[in-house]
Structure formats: C-alpha cells, structure tokens
Amino acid sequence: LMELPGVICYFNPGGEVLRDATGLRQGLNHAWIHDFPPLDMWTNVRLYQATESWSLMDTVGNGQFDLPDMEAVFLADNYKPSEVEEFLRNAALFSLREDNDFEDGDTADGPGGIVWLAIECDEALADPPRPTIRWIPDDGHEPPGELLDTGGDDDDDDDDLEDEELDQITEQEIERLLGPDFAGGSSEPDEAEDSDDLPGNPKDDY
C-alpha cells in the first residue's frame, strides 16, 4: 500500500501510530527478525506529566488485539522513560503470546530492578476511555489518590441510587394500592396476649 501513488504515510487511528515508509519497513523488519508481532506498528506509547513529581505512561491500541492497554505511574526522577516503555511493551507482548491477562495483585520485575504491582482498572487515566492494567513500582512511594482511581465507582453509586429509587417507588405503589396501613408496616410478629396459652408451654395445674 505504501507504494501506491499519492500515499505518504501509514496511519493507524486505533493505536495513534503514524509512520513513513522507512519507519514502517524498519518496524516490520525488526519484528520479523526477533520473531514477535510488530506491536509498535499497531500501538503507541505516550508519556504525561501527571503531577509535579509523578509521571504517567500508557499504551494505546491494545484493544485491537482484545487486550487491555497498559499504564504505569511512577516518580519521574526515579525511572528512565525508555525503560518504562520497554516494560509496558513487554507486558503487552506477554499477554498476547500467553493469552493470559494480568489481574489485581500480579507482580513483575520492572524498571529500577524492583517489583511492580498490577491493578485492574475499568477506566484509563487518559483518553480514550478503556480498561487498563496499571503498574505501580513497589518502592515505598504511594502515588497520589487521583492516580490510583480505577474507575467504575461512580457506576456502583448510580446502581445504589437506582435501587433506592426503586424501593421508594415500590413503597409508594403499595400505599396507593393497599392503603397506608400496609405500607411501611412492621414486619415483627404480633405479641401473644398470654404466653401461657402458647403451644408447648406447660400450664400450672395449681
């Protein structure tokens, strides 16, 4: 396709990848030589300054392989972005080759020679909205709360609110249909008038 008249580049919108003919050829050849899929021709890696001291790096485009994208949050001064990028690429490649997704609590050796922890997230920290696996270095530094947000909590709150609304509607309908004496009535059993008359209670004969 790159040899067709008028073609100037290769663009993959799903992975936000833009390559000229030389870059595309080099990427495909590199993958062929090392016998792995040309992920970097399908997916991209992005770097953000999330806070004054914390960075966010993510992949975009893994959904084309039915895989979650990868994220990493880390102290910018403690890790080299190139090593974090390689780590995320390798994690995606592992998932693709082994057909095995990462889960909450999984660990992997990563940049800095330390263990990184995986968190399953319903929503990515950066657009586009999508599920991700977020990696955090186990180096004793806890990321800010906004970088630990996994998404999905608002949906749970909405579900709880809908349940409450349904309960209220149900009580209103009961009162309308059966009258106020039935709606919201006590579910406790009526108190016995005389406990001596209950079955099974022996009576005194004297």
CA torsion through residues 163, 164, 168, 171, sign: positive
- Are 101 and 119 in contact by the 8 Å Cβ rule? The answer is no
d(Cα 70, Cα 45) in Å, to the nearest integer?
Answer: 9
Amino acid at 24: L
- Are 100 and 37 in contact by the 8 Å Cβ rule? The answer is no
Tokens of 103: 């889960």
Q: What is the structure's pLDDT at 195?
A: 37
What are the residues whose beta carbons fall under 8 Å from the beta carbon of 61, sequence distance 6 or more?
12, 14, 15, 16, 17, 42, 43, 44, 69
Report, in angstroms and rounded to the nearest whole number, the Rg of the chain calculated over CA atoms: 30
Q: What is the structure's pLDDT at 38?
A: 86
DSSP state of 62: G
Q: Map tokens 């693709």 to a residue.
A: 96
Spans in the chain with pLDDT lower than 70: 1-2, 153-206
- Are 101 and 67 in contact by the 8 Å Cβ rule? The answer is yes
pLDDT tens, 19-60? 888 888 898 898 889 888 888 898 999 999 999 999 999 999
Q: Map tokens 């001596």 to a residue.
A: 196
Q: What is the structure's pLDDT at 67?
A: 94
Q: What is the structure's pLDDT at 40?
A: 86
This prediction has a pTM of: 0.70
Task: At 105, give phi and psi (nearest 5°).
Answer: 90, -10
d(Cα 74, Cα 137) in Å, to the nearest integer?
Answer: 7
Question: DSSP characters for 94-150?
Answer: HHHHHT----TT-EEEEGGGEEEEEEEESS-SSSSP--EEEEEE-SS-PPPGGGS--
- Are 58 and 51 in contact by the 8 Å Cβ rule? The answer is no
d(Cα 203, Cα 113) in Å, to the nearest integer?
Answer: 81
**Which percentage of the chain shows pLDDT scores above 90?**
54
Sequence length of the chain is 206
